[in-house]
Amino acid sequence: MSYSRLVFKLKEHIDRLYASAKTIMLDIPLSKKEAEKAVISTLKKNNLSNAYIRLIVTRGPGDLGLDPRKCKKATMIVITDNIVLYPEKYYKNGLEIITVPTRRNIPEALNPQIKSLNYLNNILAKIEAVHSGFEEAIMLNSDGYVLECTGDNIFIARCGELITPPAYLGALEGVTRGAVIDIARSRRIGFSEKILTRHNLFNADECFLTGTAAEIIPVIKIDNRVIGDGKPGKITMGLMAEFRKLTRKDGIKY
């Protein structure tokens, strides 16, 4: 994301992209510095001050088969546009979410640390949430532990401690997730990665989601259970304020 012509965590996003490409044996035809310049150039050409940024890398032209050897040179596409995932009222009043039957892909089938556009698993869960009248859904792993939502990481606060599911269970190590953890540590808020069940969520003092476009959004009800006092909590609101300040001062200017 860019804020007032400042791209937030661009290096971290590009590092993750190149790490994902390496894992799936996809050679990106640009250096990281060239990719960074391409992002800045696209933002300038589209005259966007506040924008969502998406980098897509394909294996390039080939035939209709699945053999990647048929694609001789990868292609990078840079998309910059405006995006609003949730109405402003949810940031002020909090979001109500549900758990859905669709389980998250197991890490052995599709490593969650590979940031890709293979979103069918998430889309199916999103459809279930929308058809039930909710904006977002919690996804569990095959053992029934909480992983993340369809497009965001999930955190809870309990007795002053911030907790999020460990990535090794099958959750994405989101860039915003990492930024929030850094803010919590700088504010001396206790933090840990722990295996969470729905029971833990229901009995949390606070809950919120994090994502590149979503930023930090409070959750006030899960599966019809009120979280805390039913309002965005003190820790959540403090982290939201700090995160928004950080995005306006920490980044690459263009």
The residues that are catalytic are 115
Q: For residues 156 and 196, what is the distance between their CA atoms, to the nearest angstrom?
A: 9
- Measured in degrees and rounded to the nearest 5, phi and psi for residue 217 equal -130, 125
Task: Identify whether the C-beta of residue 27 lies closer than 8 Å to the C-beta of residue 74.
Answer: yes
Which tokens in the block code for residue 84?
Answer: 């609003």
Cite the DSSP H helix spans in the chain.
10-23, 32-45, 88-93, 120-131, 175-186, 198-202, 234-247
- With a CB cutoff of 8 Å and minimum separation 6, the contacts of 4 are 49, 50, 248
Q: For residues 173 and 16, what is the distance between their CA atoms, to the nearest angstrom?
A: 10
User: Partners of 57 in the beta sheet?
Assistant: 76
- Measured in degrees and rounded to the nearest 5, phi and psi for residue 139 equal -110, 130
Query: Quick check: helix, strand or coil at residue 76?
Result: strand
